[in-house]
Structure 1
Amino acid sequence: MFWYYCPHCFNVEPLVENWLKKLPESAVFIRQPAVFSDRWESGAKYYYVLEQLDEVDRLHGALFDAIHLYKTPFIDNEDFINWLVNNGVDQAKASNALKSFSVRIKVNKSKLNTVKYKTSGVPTFVVNGKYWVDTKHAGGEKRLFKVLDYLIQKESQ
């Protein structure tokens, strides 16, 4: 679980991308935004809009960069739509995705899963719905992926 405004999530994202290249075919990685409060909903909406528009691969990292490197202010949905348009997304498609029922449902599911998975912070990784791993409890960013690999291997046996 992650949040676009989290500096730790931003820092670990390139490591996640490298790790995903080595993920076993038997494992499925599902990104899910955490939603602890209303304030966190915008980040979840942004992710699910990218997902609905099939733009996650192209714009997920760029959105992290916009927030953390370029300090792009996303005060409201219009700011996000404008950012999408500036990145080559059709305005009507972006606006419709943001207002869509499926995005609302996925944001609500993220809220429920944030509680269900007993998430206390981000980034957090859940393996097979059983194991919750974060950098603190894994002993750092490098060790995080060793722990995840171990748990994935354990669960695939």
Structure 2
Amino acid sequence: MKKSLFILFALLGLSLPAAAYDEGFEYKKVTPSQPTTSESKIEVVELFWYGCPHCYDFEPSLSKWTENKPDNVEFIRIPAVFRQNWMPHARAYYTAEALGVLDKTHKAFFDAVHKEKQPLQTEKAIGDFFVKQGVKRDEFKRVWNSFVVQARLKRAVSMTKRYGITGVPAMVVNGKYRTGGPAANINSPAASKQEQHENVLKVVDWLVSREAAAKAGK
């Protein structure tokens, strides 16, 4: 596979990323592959949970990556829902998205859970958080219980299963490949937390380049 990929990049006049990774080790196939939101761009999805300390640790590296991501990448976050008690945090994410305040609340919600140790599990507690972020309570209540948020929650539950992930944070590239900390660091058992995060994003970058080459070769 690596040899054929190298030939494809050479024919297209592109540079193969320095590291090449193996299917089944640093990444796995999503079977069956899932539809993406854009035909013209490479979709990169992060699945996360606000209550996950690993997701909290990963967020600064991921945020930096999103600021410098290639123009051909469409980045999407999906709050994973493995259990019922993950649902309030997923609903909070989609409520913020529907209200247009996600840029303001995303990091703040992570900090509230992990730094301030707030048990943001009930509508009341999460509503209080949103009010502190400048959202009117009646607007919060209207969106929290809206059809739009409910539909997005339903999709999040479905995609958590369909991507075949077993933990978070997890990254899915173009609906075809998934990776995460344990997989991306299978050959780096002594890596620091920061290095582990960087390794995940290196695998993502490599998969994005691979998909871009495949699109160019069509």
TM-score normalised to structure 2 length = 0.71
Q: Decide which of 202, 206, 210 is 1:146's aligned counterpart.
A: 202
Which is strand-richer, 1 or 2?
2
Residue of structure 2 equivalent to 1:120? 166
Q: Decide which of 66, 87, 94 is 1:41's aligned counterpart.
A: 87
**Paired residues for 1:79-98 under 5 Å:** 79-98=125-144
Residue of structure 2 equivalent to 1:53? 99
Does structure 1 residue 134 correspond to structure 2 residue 190? Answer: no
> Which residue identity does 2:212 align to in structure 1?
S
Give 1:112 deviation, angstroms. 0.5
Does structure 1 residue 156 correspond to structure 2 residue 212? Answer: yes
Higher relative contact order, chain-length normalized (CA < 8 Å, sep 6+): 2
What are the ranges of 5 or more consecutive residues in structure 2 without an aligned counterpart?
A: 1-46, 186-195, 214-218
Percent identical: 36
Task: Answer yes or no: is the 8 Å Cα contact 2:91–2:144 preserved in 1.
Answer: yes
Residue of structure 2 equivalent to 1:105? 151
Q: CA RMSD in A?
A: 0.8
Residue aligned with 1:25, SS: coil
Distance in 2 separating the partners of 1:75 and 1:6 = 14
Which is helix-richer, 1 or 2?
1
Task: Answer yes or no: is the 8 Å Cα contact 2:88–2:121 preserved in 1.
Answer: no
Comparing 71-80 and 2-11, the one that deviates more:
71-80
Residue aligned with 1:32, SS: strand
Higher-Rg structure is 2
Give 1:39 deviation, angstroms. 1.2
Residue of structure 2 equivalent to 1:9? 55
Residue of structure 2 equivalent to 1:69? 115
Task: Answer yes or no: is the 8 Å Cα contact 2:49–2:86 preserved in 1.
Answer: yes
Give 1:75 deviation, angstroms. 3.7
Residue aligned with 2:50, SS: coil
TM-score normalised to structure 1 length = 0.97
Aligned residues: 157
